[in-house]
Amino acid sequence: MSLAKLQEVPPKNMILLVGPPGSGKSTFCQQAVLKSLAVDRPVIYVTTEYGPIDAERWLRERGLHEVEPSLLNFVDAYNETVGVSVSERPDTVYADCNDLSSIDIAISKLSERIGKKHILLVFDSLTSPYLFSGAEILRFMRQTLSRFTARGNAVLGCMDEGCGKSEDVVAMMTLSSGVIKMELREGKKVLNVVKHPRIEPTEIEVPVTVQPRVISSCFDADYVRKEAEMALRGVKVTLRPEVGDHVNIAWRNLIFWSGMLWDPERFPTMMYELTKYSENPNNYGFDMVSLIPWHTKLLYKLFMPKSFSKVKDMRKVFERGFQPQYSQMRISTVKYLDDISKTNEHYIRGYEHYECWGFENVGASLGLMKTAMMAGSLKGMEKLLGGIERDWNAIETKCIGLGDPHCEVKFVPGEIEELKESMRKDILAIERIHNRLMDHILGFLLHGKPLMERPTWGSGVHIHEIQHVTAAPLVNERLQMVFSMGGARAGKMLGERLLESGLGEQDAVKCVVNLMEHCKVGRITLRETIKMQENCERFRIETEQPSCYFTTGFFNGFFSAVKNQHVKETKCIAVGDRYCEWEFR
pLDDT digits (tens, 9 = 90+) for 463-495: 989 988 998 898 888 899 999 999 999 999 999
User: Smallest Cα–Cα separation from 346: which of 355, 333, 337?
Assistant: 337
Residue 559 CB neighbour total at 10 angstroms: 24
Taking residues 260-268, what's their average pLDDT?
88
CA angle 568, 574, 580 (to 5 degrees): 40
% of the chain exceeding 90 in pLDDT: 70
Taking residues 228-247, what's their average pLDDT?
74
Amino acid at 194: V
Cα dihedral sign for 332, 338, 339, 343? positive
Q: Give residue 215's pLDDT band: very low, low, confident or very high (50, 70, 90).
A: very low
Please identify, in words, the CATH class of the domain defined by 3-207: alpha beta
Helices 369-386 and 267-278, packing angle to 10 deg:
30
With H, G, I as helix, E, B as strand and everything else as coil, classify residue 585.
Answer: coil
Q: Name which of 57-71, 116-130, 351-365 the model is least confident about.
A: 57-71
pTM of the model: 0.88
- pLDDT, residue 235, reads 60
% of the chain exceeding 70 in pLDDT: 90
In a 13 Å sphere around the CA of 221, the CA atoms on its Cβ side amount to 8
Which residue blocks in 361-458 are alpha helix, DSSP H? 369-386, 419-422, 427-447
For the stretch 514-562, pLDDT in tens is 999 999 999 999 999 999 999 999 988 888 889 999 999 999 999 999 9
**DSSP H helix total and E strand total for the chain:** 22, 19
Q: Name which of 20-29, 96-105, 490-499 the model is least confident about.
A: 20-29
**CA 552 to CA 554: how far, in whole Å?**
5
| Residues 194 and 30 sit within 8 Å (Cβ to Cβ) | no
- pLDDT, residue 211, reads 43
With H, G, I as helix, E, B as strand and everything else as coil, classify residue 544.
Answer: coil
In 81-148, beta strands by DSSP E? 92-94, 120-124
Q: Where are the domains of the chain?
A: 3-207
